[in-house]
Structure 1
Amino acid sequence: MARDLPIGNGNVLINFDAAYNIRDMYYPLVGQENQSSDHLSHFGIWCAQDFFWIDNPEVSKKLNYLEDSLVTNVEGMHERLGLNFVIRDGVDVQHNVFLRKIKLENLFEAQREIKLYFHLDLQIYGNGVGDTIYFDPELNSLVFYKGHRYMSLSGLSPDADQPFPSGYATGQKGIHGLEGTWRDAEDGQLGGNPIAQGSVDGTLELTMQLPPKSSKEAWFWICFGHTKQEVERMESMLRTETPQALLQRTHNHWVKWVNQDAHQLSLLKPDLASFYKRCLLITRTNVDNRGAIIAANDSDILKFAKDTYSYMWPRDGALVSHALDRAGYYELSSKFFDFCKKVLTPEGYLMHKYNPDSSVGSSWHPWVDGQGKKQLAIQEDETALVLYTLWHHHKLAGTLERSREDYEKLVQPAADFLVHYRDASGLPLPSYDLWEERYGVLAFTVASVHAGLVAAARFADYHQDKARAVYYTDVADQVKKAAEQQLFAADQNRFLRALYWSYETNQYVPDYTLDMSMYGLFDFGLFELEDPRIVETMRILKEKLWVQTDIGGIARYENDYYHQVTNDVAKVPGNPWFICTLWYAEWLVASAKTADDLQEAENLMRWAIGHALPSGTMAEQVHPFTGAPLSVSPLTWSHASFIKVTQEYLSKLKIFTRTGTKQATDASEDKVLEPVVH
């Protein structure tokens, strides 16, 4: 089930499923140590007439956020039981506390006793072995712990005569046929077992009296810490400052944060501006405070591959950081580049992916080739794009004068690797593609290597390292020349996706497959967008990769097998991806000569909005016939792609607005007005 409404503070990340159950609970790193590991935590309401969990089919819900904020706003109703509710959840921006505010309305003409139940099913350190839960009478809280992880679940009723929890239950689950303490809640009576160990869960009860046709507010919260004492201090702080004050400051913080973006959003139509800001906020939830930009934190993907997307891919991180830099969030990007500097290998390349704590992540890339000889298990574009976006980071942030350490410890060794990892023709040697499926010389990778070397040359020139500046520039030119000679299919007047080395013929074999990642040939500046070869390449990409269903959108490449739902590849070359559809929108924006030319790009931006969840969450891809989210949700890269194309759309729009005509001026003006990629 797709994840929705992520909330977090860079240390704690909470994901809900589409029914608004808590599914993922990351702490102390975003993306590492999922303390719930896809186990469902329930929220329920009891009244004399009946009991229901929030995912009951009789409960109608609207899942959304408060505007410009990472505080949820979920409106629900159980018509038969005469109950309306509004739930607002957030993670405090100063302390590692999850907050839940429930406003409950009684629609009946009679006073009623209502009980609220918050169930928590944890897998501390990501597994359910050796956990402990107990009721703490001084805190009036359920406390979970194992090792150096402590979590307390507490609540506050609005009724003065019984403000603290009126009941609790602890127990085991998933063993001996036990389902968990949530079952104990369904009759409105918790057993009160004070402690349990092993594979455990717990449920807390709040009781309130609701007068006729009235409403009241109740609270639950979870404190996260490394020790019991840390949790106790947070509990004391929260009860002194009040949960309302913490939730209010959290809301205010995010409203201020997302409106720091310097772009002239007033030029956008309101729905585009609102979605742009929502993308910034959702992107922020997947950025760890120590610099790791995580691809996605949807543990539902475990069912597919027994692994997750909760890793820092340097490529994804570089492109996400670039979008954040263009929006002015330089501090976040700076931490990402510090992360990359820390993990760069002595040889000068970055590995496939990393855990949020900077250790090397899992990989399926072999270290030997088909002949049993050593090969590097890397995607070279990941190293190159870090250099490319690092240059733009310092330019946009105005920090080039402070970039000496980055130049010496990251740029030089990485650029030297790019220089030497080439064949005699000048092309980069084979590595894995950005889709992590093929080992060869990919157009996307070649474009990124060229961009990385150009960036390195600019760093060298700035730091008066003239010899390297000339050297890196010369090598970048060699890469471009080799790409023109070997990656262009003259018979089709377009570029190739890749070249693969044949051990039988001792030469490269061309791959004519159309792949939307070929957009990188212009986006990373290897070739000019007006180049007829690029124009034809982009034209045929759209023609062949557009999904011919009511859903539409653009697939990754021809006959994409990942999560494939049909073999009718003529109609559905692959599932539509948000990033691929938005890449084509970038092309349309870059090519626009008049204001009218922007309309098709705007339509594709609206396609992304229309296929996101109502909250604004975008998955990796969508079902080509139903539009339902597929693979992970949210995918950070999807949101960063919308951020970037909106920035470029705004830049062109600003030109048209300033000139007072429908004609675009010289494209170089675009680069002056707003930060751009090239």
Structure 2
Amino acid sequence: MPRSIILGNGKTLLGFDDNYELRDWYFPYVGQENHVGRHYHKIGFWVDGAFAWFGKSWDLKINYSPEGFIATVSGRSEALGISAEIEDTVYNEENVMVRRVNVKNLGKTKKEVRVFFAQEFPIDEVTYGNTSFYDPRGEVIIHYKGQRVFLINGSTKEKAGFSDFTCGVSNWGTQEGSFRDAEDGRLAQNHIEHGSADSVVGFNLYLEPGGMETLYSWIVVAADIKEAKRLNREVLAKTPAHIIKTTRFFWKAWVEKQEYEWFNLGPEIRDLFGKSLFFLRLLTNTNGLSIASPDSDLLQFGKDTYNYMWPRDGAFVVLALDKAGYSEVTRNFFYTAKDLLSEEGFLMHKYRPDGSLGSSWHSWIANGVLQYPIQEDETALVLFALEQHYEKTHNVEFLEELYNPLVRKMADFLVSFRDSATGLPHPSYDLWEERIGIHTFTVSTVYVGCLAAANMAKILGKKNDCSRYFRTASEIAAASVREMYDTKERRYCRRLYWEGGKWVKDMTPDSSTLYGLLRFGMEKPDSPRLVSTAKDCFSRLSLKTSAGGWARYEKDNYMMIDPDWTRVPGNPWILCTLWRADYLISLAQKSEDLDEPRRIIEWVVRRASASGILSEQIHPTLGTPLSVSPLAWSHAQLVITVLFYLKKMGQIVDRPYIKPFRMSKGC
């Protein structure tokens, strides 16, 4: 189920589904150690003897507050005669989730309302060995195991703390979970439980006809009980209302730090642009590593999740954030990449959020000989991202610090990892992680990676390195035309693969072929070779359905919905559709030329969830989210494309698209 809301601060990340049940709680790394998983947290309401769990039957409206990035969820229950509005946030300064619940009486008589929060924390993603207990010294509930502690507290106008509680077990024997104890409006007040331990806390509200009352609850997470209690005292001292207010101001200021001239891009695009920046920050750890997606539901249908940092995806996130002016967030990515480099100078397939090596299906042996289990573009793109980072920051000391252990080591690998016969890089896995070969996209990234290394070497006066890297880039560019452009079909191949003692061209139309050549400058936008390649991609990768969009490549069967290849060459991907917009933007000479790219961006906006979250793919006929959601790369590409559009429009109309910074003064 796609995530409707994510909240976080770089150490803690929460994910909520369409029922507004908490599905993910990651700590202390974004994307690692999900302490909720399949053990969803629920919200329940008891009103004068009747009970209902908060969910879709309440006609939920889930979004972020327009005043700041606070989750705002409203629902209405005719059966209970109440409405509820919930505001949730993760404190930007500490690892605390704070919730405000406003309950309104829709009837004409007084009502007693009991609000219940049911939670289970399978700490370290394991249900056994957990403990939940009521601590009478602070009147709080504590869940703990090892170095992970969750403390639960709250307050109403009438009472500091909760009014009712219980600790129990979930999915053990005949016991479904303590959440069932809430359905009669009273909790058992069991003081402690262990194993698959859960808990429920309750709050009593008394509502006049048409009246509204407010309660606050919070959950802190820490490495030990002492720290958890300190955080609880901090919430009590600052007040939960203050924390919600200051976090709202923080995120609003963070997202709006740079003011743009939006030209003819409407408010919906601006809103999604801001939310995309917000999401990218939430998905980025303090060590600079961003995960592809926090959506843990994929684990229920496959063998793994997207909770990893692919260096390619991470590089695109860095490119997007740097372009938008957030170099303070991206800086640590390069430090961590330096530490992750292999002895040979390449990055591996993917990494866990803490920087340890991630799972992989790439073999070290191909046809009986050594084959590096890598996607070479992931190494090359980090070099490109670092050069772009420098162009934004002009931080020579930072560049000098990273040159020997990162730039030179990576660039030397790119130079040496080439086939002497073709002059092209040796085979590696493609960016879609499906096949080995010499891929046009990868070749394009190696080309731009060598150019980036040459430029950085020149800045630091390293002439020999500069000459060597530049010469390699030139040789690769020439080899790509000679070996990968098919003069008969007048377009580039997707890849070369070895068969029958020779290199064979794979002519499958692939969106990454066009994008790689364009984005990384191996072909100019209006070059005949690129124009003919684009024409073929446009005609064969566009969906002929009401959903529209652009497929990754022809006959893409990943999560295939419709097997009619004539109508659906593959599911439409958000980022691939935006690549088409990038190509059209690059060709634009007058403002009217940007109409079609703008319509593509508007298409993406319509495919976002109500709260602005973009998935990886779109259902080819329904137009609904498909696969994981959110996908960091989708949001990164949206930011990159919008900024590219604004820059090109600014050039056409001769007006800067970035407005000068002006510090607001006074209160």
Instruction: Tell me the TM-score range normalised by the shorter chain.
Output: over 0.9
Q: Does 1:200 align with 2:197?
A: yes
Secondary structure of 2:64's aligned partner? coil
Secondary structure of 1:315's aligned partner? helix
| Pairwise CA distance, 1:278 | 1.0
Which shifted more, 265-274 or 386-395?
A: 265-274
1:34 aligned partner, one-letter code: N
Aligned mates of 2:504, 2:255 — CA distance in 1: 48
| Pairwise CA distance, 1:570 | 1.2
Shift in CA distance, 266/229, structure 1 to aligned 2, threshold 3 Å: farther
Secondary structure of 1:88's aligned partner? strand
For 1:154, the equivalent position in structure 2 comes to 153
Which of 288, 291, 304 is the aligned partner of 1:291?
A: 288
| Pairwise CA distance, 1:628 | 2.1
Q: Does 1:44 align with 2:44?
A: yes
Shift in CA distance, 538/38, structure 1 to aligned 2, threshold 3 Å: farther
| Pairwise CA distance, 1:247 | 0.9
For 1:332, the equivalent position in structure 2 comes to 329
Which of 626, 633, 637 is the aligned partner of 1:630?
A: 626
CA contact (8 A) 1:69 1:281 kept: no
| Pairwise CA distance, 1:79 | 2.4
Deviations 1:497-551 (A, max 9, x none): 011112xx22111111111111111111111111111112112212111111111
Aligned mates of 2:374, 2:42 — CA distance in 1: 42
| Pairwise CA distance, 1:177 | 2.8
Deviations 1:229-273 (A, max 9, x none): 000001111111100111111100000000012533466322211
Aligned mates of 2:658, 2:252 — CA distance in 1: 29
1:448 aligned partner, one-letter code: T
Secondary structure of 1:464's aligned partner? coil
Which shifted more, 261-270 or 84-93?
A: 261-270
CA contact (8 A) 1:261 1:327 kept: yes
Secondary structure of 2:307's aligned partner? coil
Aligned mates of 2:59, 2:354 — CA distance in 1: 40
Deviations 1:121-169 (A, max 9, x none): 211011112011111112222100000000011121222xx33211112
Which shifted more, 422-431 or 38-47?
A: 38-47
Which of 534, 539, 556 is the aligned partner of 1:560?
A: 556
Structure 2 portions without partners, runs of 5+ = 661-667
Shift in CA distance, 367/412, structure 1 to aligned 2, threshold 3 Å: same
CA contact (8 A) 1:267 1:653 kept: no
CA contact (8 A) 1:99 1:220 kept: yes
Aligned mates of 2:69, 2:7 — CA distance in 1: 6
Residues 56-455 of structure 1: pairs in structure 2 closer than 5 A = 56-57=56-57, 59-67=58-66, 69-159=68-158, 162-265=159-262, 268-369=265-366, 371-424=367-420, 425-455=422-452
Deviations 1:548-576 (A, max 9, x none): 11111111111111111121111111111
CA contact (8 A) 1:263 1:647 kept: no
For 1:665, the equivalent position in structure 2 comes to none
Aligned mates of 1:671, 1:83 — CA distance in 2: 47
| Pairwise CA distance, 1:329 | 0.1
Aligned mates of 1:368, 1:190 — CA distance in 2: 59
Aligned mates of 2:441, 2:657 — CA distance in 1: 24
CA contact (8 A) 2:262 2:657 kept: no
| Pairwise CA distance, 1:70 | 2.6
Secondary structure of 1:223's aligned partner? strand
Deviations 1:448-489 (A, max 9, x none): 000000000001111111011011000101111110011111
1:447 aligned partner, one-letter code: S
CA contact (8 A) 2:261 2:657 kept: no
| Pairwise CA distance, 1:81 | 2.2
1:610 aligned partner, one-letter code: R
Q: Does 1:647 align with 2:643?
A: yes
CA contact (8 A) 1:12 1:96 kept: yes
| Pairwise CA distance, 1:67 | 2.0
Q: Does 1:513 align with 2:508?
A: yes
Secondary structure of 1:202's aligned partner? strand
Which of 571, 574, 586 is the aligned partner of 1:575?
A: 571
Secondary structure of 2:365's aligned partner? coil
Deviations 1:610-637 (A, max 9, x none): 0110100001001112122111110000
Q: Name the TM-score, length of structure 1 as normaliser.
A: 0.95
Q: Name the TM-score, length of structure 2 as normaliser.
A: 0.97
For 1:27, the equivalent position in structure 2 comes to 27
Task: Count how many residue pairs are aligned between Structure 1 and Structure 2.
Answer: 658
Secondary structure of 1:3's aligned partner? coil
Deviations 1:372-420 (A, max 9, x none): 2111000000000000110010111121343101111100000000000
| Pairwise CA distance, 1:69 | 2.9
Aligned mates of 2:503, 2:101 — CA distance in 1: 63
1:468 aligned partner, one-letter code: D
Structure 1 portions without partners, runs of 5+ = 660-668, 674-678
Q: Does 1:585 align with 2:581?
A: yes
CA contact (8 A) 1:25 1:34 kept: yes
2:13 aligned partner, one-letter code: L
| Pairwise CA distance, 1:670 | 10
CA contact (8 A) 1:262 1:328 kept: no
Deviations 1:272-304 (A, max 9, x none): 111111111111110111211111110001022
CA RMSD of aligned residues (A): 1.6
1:559 aligned partner, one-letter code: K
For 1:533, the equivalent position in structure 2 comes to 529
1:187 aligned partner, one-letter code: D
Q: Percent identity?
A: 38
Aligned mates of 1:131, 1:306 — CA distance in 2: 25
Which shifted more, 622-631 or 21-30?
A: 622-631
Which of 656, 669, 672 is the aligned partner of 2:652?
A: 656
| Pairwise CA distance, 1:40 | 1.2
1:289 aligned partner, one-letter code: T
CA contact (8 A) 2:165 2:200 kept: yes
Deviations 1:168-187 (A, max 9, x none): 12111122132111111111
Shift in CA distance, 11/670, structure 1 to aligned 2, threshold 3 Å: closer
For 2:664, the equivalent position in structure 1 comes to none
